[in-house]
Amino acid sequence: MADLVIRDADVIDGTGADSYRADVVVDDGRIVSIVREAAAAGCQRPTAVRELDAEGLTLAPGFIDMHAHSDLALLRDPDHSAKAAQGVTLEVLGQDGLSYAPVDDRTLEEVRRAITGWNGYGDELDFGWRSVGEYLDRLDHGFDGAGIAVNAAYLIPQGTVRALAVGWEDRPAKPQELDRMRQLVAEGLEQGAVGLSSGLTYTPGMYAPDSELTELCRVVARYGGYYCPHHRSYGAGALAAYAEMIELTRQAGCPLHLAHATMNFGVNKGRAPDLLTLLDEALAAGADITLDTYPYTPGCTTLVALLPSWASEGGPQEILRRLADDDTAARIRHDLEVTGADGCHGVPVDWDTIEISGVADERLAAHVGRTIQQSARLRGEPPWTTARRLLLDDRLSATILQHVGHEENVRTIMRHRVHTGGSDGVLQGAKPHPRAYGTFPRYLGHYTRELGILSLEECVAHLTGRPAARLRLPDRGLIREGYRADLVLFDAATVAAGSTYDDPRTLPTGVPHVLVDGRFVIEDGRRTDVLAGRAVRRSPM
């Protein structure tokens, strides 16, 4: 007998087609039979070792988080309910150009310090890997050899590659360094990465000129991967930055996936249609473009990311040295508050919009939940003084929420036909962004059921079939016979994000069952001890 039959489910298959009622049979980690209600009339219904009554529930493919920052969390926290409880069965890691492979001993230490605010320092982990393939192998085995909570794919981080081949200096790569970067990208793709990411407002990736990025994208294109840039501006130069990425990938012949595609800050209020016009023109000309967004208005990053790029050259130790020097710190302040630093997307910083969400040093915990302006007022000092002190005392580890988004832009972009869902979820900090725990139920509940921005079938397609197609996964993202049984059962009438800005780690409601590879990781609303996730490697062309 088969392992499981899911009985009387309202199936939404991930294609955008209308839902239908069916019994779905799972065996050995795959969907082996789908018996629609009409076909079952007068026939013997399928049986299995276990039967699950899905009356009143919607059965969908597991959700794919196209922009995740769980690079260490999957290894450090086997439970990983933050994502599993949302119905996420696959996360795409290696985002924003900075992650933990490929590295050498020097680069690994630099990267660990540079993105402590995203992932923690990882003291409890044995960083035994160096190559992309070794990191993916480690994901297969998990923290103690048992696996991970959900599946994970990996993007080669261009900033890490540049740090390894060039360093953290603001200069063009030498010919031999560019050759090394091409080789590192090719090796990572051969070892299973699905593409290349960049963080073009983060050092050292932001120091790469377009010519260098184009060369790396040509390598990505040869292997059938895609380029996923956090581009050079989401603020004053947002449209130009989007256009830059479209032209760069056109020249390289490389598919493009725009990371957390938003239009933020006051200069972009109501300008989402301008972005979509730009995308539609490129798509009509034959470009292969997709994008992801999170269904919230604030952004989330590290406080140090706001600094001008010249202040970040050389890596974390050089940043700290510059901040400690009064004259240099004054220049940084001028760029932030008057000129508009490139790290703050060319817009002069408004300290009222910068909320501290986490710190590494518990002695600084009083800042968490306050804006820089609020903390400064309590201290009786200028906000830059507070921000500078926090950067130095917390060794650049503080994370922030940046309240610079616009609801009308969020709604407009999520309607687009190439849109997918991505949480951009940072799991660090005492008060992380609620998107880390709530993105996918919020799409289903708030934006679909309550606001009607998308139909339920459209929303599921945005979260499943469409991202699976971008990742070129031949057997995931749809409910079809022969496909992997990565599945979620949710109550369309009640599903909702539980996480809020005050209580960001609250789990969602209305998602009683989640299966990874045919095994229950969430059952009756509770996390099981199943670790069925593995690294999902790029499919050969």
**Comparing 15-24, 39-48, 388-397, which segment has the lowest mean pLDDT?**
39-48
**Is the pLDDT at 41 greater than 80, yes or no?**
no
pLDDT value at residue 45: 87
pLDDT band with cut points at 50, 70 and 90 for residue 44: confident
Mean pLDDT of 144-168: 96
Beta carbons within 8 Å of 225's beta carbon, 6+ residues apart: 189, 193, 194, 195, 196, 254, 255, 538
Tens-digit pLDDT profile for residues 66-110: 999 999 999 999 999 999 999 999 999 999 999 999 999 999 999
Tens-digit pLDDT profile for residues 260-285: 999 999 999 999 999 999 999 999 99
Q: Are 299 and 311 in contact (CB under 8 A)?
A: no
Mean pLDDT of 156-179: 97
pLDDT value at residue 540: 76
Q: What is the mean pLDDT of the chain?
A: 96
Tens-digit pLDDT profile for residues 188-212: 999 999 999 999 999 999 999 999 9
pLDDT value at residue 469: 98
| Calpha distance 472→484 (Å, rounded) | 14
**Is the pLDDT at 127 greater than 90, yes or no?**
yes
**Is the pLDDT at 131 greater than 70, yes or no?**
yes
Q: Is the dihedral of CA 428, 140, 474, 487 positive or negative?
A: negative
Query: Which class for 49: exposed (0-12), middle (13-18), buried (19 or more C-beta within 10 A)?
Result: exposed
Q: Are 203 and 113 in contact (CB under 8 A)?
A: no
pLDDT value at residue 541: 66
Q: Are 148 and 534 in contact (CB under 8 A)?
A: yes
**Is the pLDDT at 40 greater than 80, yes or no?**
no
pLDDT band with cut points at 50, 70 and 90 for residue 39: low
Q: Are 114 and 316 in contact (CB under 8 A)?
A: yes
Mean pLDDT of 114-119: 94
pLDDT value at residue 500: 97
Four-CA torsion 430, 432, 436, 437, nearest 10 degrees? 50
**Is the pLDDT at 442 greater than 70, yes or no?**
yes
Q: Which helix (H) or strand (E) holds 196?
A: strand 195-199
**Comparing 30-34, 113-117, 418-422, which segment has the lowest mean pLDDT?**
113-117
What region, left, alpha or beta, does residue 32 occupy, with left being phi > 0 and alpha being psi -120 to 50 degrees? alpha
**Is the pLDDT at 254 greater than 70, yes or no?**
yes
pLDDT value at residue 353: 97
Given the structure tokens 């969020």, which residue do they identify? 410
pLDDT value at residue 42: 65
Q: Which stretches of 85-199 are DSSP H helices? A: 105-114, 116-119, 132-141, 158-165, 175-190
Mean pLDDT of 359-382: 96
Closest CA to 111 of 231, 217, 203, 206: 203
Task: Name the 3-class secondary structure at 420.
Answer: strand
Mean pLDDT of 287-315: 95
Tens-digit pLDDT profile for residues 463-519: 999 999 999 999 999 999 999 999 999 999 999 999 999 999 999 999 999 999 999
Task: Find the length of the chain.
Answer: 541
pLDDT value at residue 260: 97
Tens-digit pLDDT profile for residues 306-331: 999 999 999 899 999 999 999 999 99
| Number of neighbouring beta carbons within 10 Å of residue 379 | 12
| Calpha distance 95→157 (Å, rounded) | 7
Tens-digit pLDDT profile for residues 237-249: 999 999 999 999 9
**Is the pLDDT at 63 greater than 70, yes or no?**
yes
Q: Spell out where 337-482 has E strands.
A: 354-358, 399-402, 419-421
In the chain, what's the furthest Cα-to-Cα distance? 84
**Is the pLDDT at 365 greater than 90, yes or no?**
yes
Indicate the residue type of 299: G
Q: Are 150 and 88 in contact (CB under 8 A)?
A: yes
**Is the pLDDT at 38 greater than 60, yes or no?**
no
Q: What pTM value is reported for the model?
A: 0.96
3-state secondary structure 108-140: HHHHHHHCHHHHCCCCCCCCCCCCHHHHHHHHH
